[in-house]
Amino acid sequence: MRLLIVDDEPLVRRSLERIFAKEGFEVQSAEDGIAGLKMWQEIGPDVVLLDVLMPGLTGPQVLQKIYPHKAKVILMSAYSGEYELESLRHLGVIDFISKPFGDVFEVVKRIKERIRNP
């Protein structure tokens, strides 16, 4: 399963890459919205972990540009409740996770669960 991480924070990318690789995902990551959009178009991931506020393009802007797509998208943001999940569902968003994560393993567990039952 191909997983794309789009986040401007290197430590977040690094930790998520590491943990999802361990879980058997084929992980790739991009450091901002523009690079993320490009990579999304190139690899056609199954799952995208998308940060909201980023330089270049924001997460929702990336979504607008890439749509239609086949990926299951999970939004991540330090601004809790910034976006109404329901209003983005039609763009393929299946969940929203606020930063900072309480326990990263719990987050991974939750994401895997959501992928199975979107």
Q: Contacting other proteins (CB under 8 A), which of 1, 2, 19, 115?
A: 19
5 vs 69: CA distance, rounded Å: 16
User: What Cα–Cα distance (Å) separates residue 85 from each residue in 34, 39, 51, 92?
Assistant: 22, 24, 14, 10
Q: Determine which residue in the list 70, 81, 86, 103 makes contact with other proteins, applying CB under 8 A.
A: 103
Residue 23, interface with other proteins (CB under 8 A)? no
Selected from 34, 35, 91, 104, the binder of other proteins by CB under 8 A is 104
By CB under 8 A, tell whether 99 contacts other proteins: yes
Instruction: Pinpoint the alpha helices (H) of 28-103.
Output: 33-43, 59-66, 85-88
At 92 the three-state DSSP class reads coil
- Which residues lie near other proteins (CB under 8 A)? 7-16, 18-19, 51, 53, 78-79, 99-101, 103-105, 107
